[in-house]
Structure formats: C-alpha cells, structure tokens
Amino acid sequence: DSMGEFSANVLETYCAGAEVKNAGLAGTKAEDWANDINADAVNGCGSSFDYVWMSFGGNDMLESDGCSMTAETMQSKVTAAINNVKTNIAPGATKYLMTCYCQPKSAESGSACNTPEKTVPLCAGIKAACDLDSDVEYVDSFESCGGSSSAWSNPGYFEDAIHLNKRGYCKVFTQAAIQTLFQCGERAYDCDNEDCTMTGYNLQCAGDASKDEYDGGSCTAINGGGG
C-alpha cells in the first residue's frame, strides 16, 4: 500500500548495508494482495529476497463501512495476504516482517476513522495474523510517532493526516527490533532532525516510479506529545 510505496528506498538510509527493492503499490488492500496481485505485478523486483517487509490492511480499515472492521476480520484478510505473498509473490525469504502503521496525526477529511480509538483494531488484527505464522515477525509501530490508542500522533512525522514523511519512516525503521531483524549495520540516528523530503521514487521496481521525489510536507516542529 502507500506505506510501502511512499517509503521509496529510504530503508537503505535507516538500515546500513541494506539494498531495497520497493514493490509497494499505493491504494491496495490486504484483499488485493490475497486475491488479485501476483508475481507479475512486481516483475522487475527480482525473485530472491533475504527479507520481505509487508504493508497492507490500512486501506481495508479506512474503506470499511463506518471504520467498523473488527480485529478478527482484519486478521483473516491479512492472513490470506501473507499466505499469497509467501507462496506466490516473494517465496523463500529468510524472514517476513509486518510493522502495522503509526497512529495517524489526525483523521482524513470525511473519514469515518475520526477518533484515535477507531484505529485500534487495525494493528490488533495485523498482530494476530502475524502471531499465527512463525515465518512472520511483527514489530509494533503504532506508538512510534507519538500517538496511542487514545491520542493522535505527533504531526511532525507526517506528510499529511496518515502518510509519513522521512522523519516518520526514520522512527519506524530505526526501532531496535527492525534493526536486529534486518541485520543493519551499527549507526546512530536522530530522527527528529532529519529532513522531511522523501526521494528515491525513480529507483522503485513497482508502484509509481515516474517521479524521483515528492514533497514530504513542511517540517512541523516535533513536540512532546501527540498531535
């Protein structure tokens, strides 16, 4: 989904020694990755991967009637998507990773997901799906950008209401569990002082590679609490 596609190749910045093949497809849902997306969709990304980071489920929640999808329904959708990725799209990786999403900085205009509490089943369902599969590691990013189950995240980590800027991706990818899983080289990071602009779109092997960067949003000051 957009969490994956919009990350471009920034993981290379925040995981020393990594080489990234970005096969993210903005706008897709877990049910797309379970049923409609196959290896042809990521043709050009290669066929052998050490680690696979998967991001889906967010659009399923956002597009559910009244933002009412339960954790149990989310688990079922994500499990089906994981199985298709492992079997048909990117088989044979050493490990698969899901991080869920940072709590948004606010609701999107007109969205039924209009309180922090309504987003909680999203990550709960994703975690439940990962817990059922020994090949999949779950690293919880829900509170990584300053939010919680009852508060929106810090706006300084976001390009808009729900999409991260470079600082936000830094907060997600520099978590110790991700650094360890991907065997990243040792390096110190200061996410709050990173530039916000994302680059590297022209290096993607799927998704929208027609542009080489996008405006990651003005660098809103990082404050001490949720936005």
All residues at 6 or more sequence positions from 195 whose CB lies less than 8 Å from its CB, including other chains: 166, 216, 219
Residue 227 reports pLDDT greater than 90 = no
Ramachandran angles phi, psi of 135, nearest 5°:
-85, -10
CB atoms within 10 A of CB 140: 15
Looking at residue 75, its amino acid is Q
- Over residues 107-121, mean pLDDT: 96
pLDDT band, very low/low/confident/very high, at 199 (cuts 50, 70, 90): confident
Q: Report the alpha-carbon distance of residue 36 to residue 82 in Å, rounded.
A: 13
Mean pLDDT within 122-147: 98
How confident is the model over 7-42, as pLDDT tens digits? 999 999 999 999 999 999 999 999 999 998 877 777
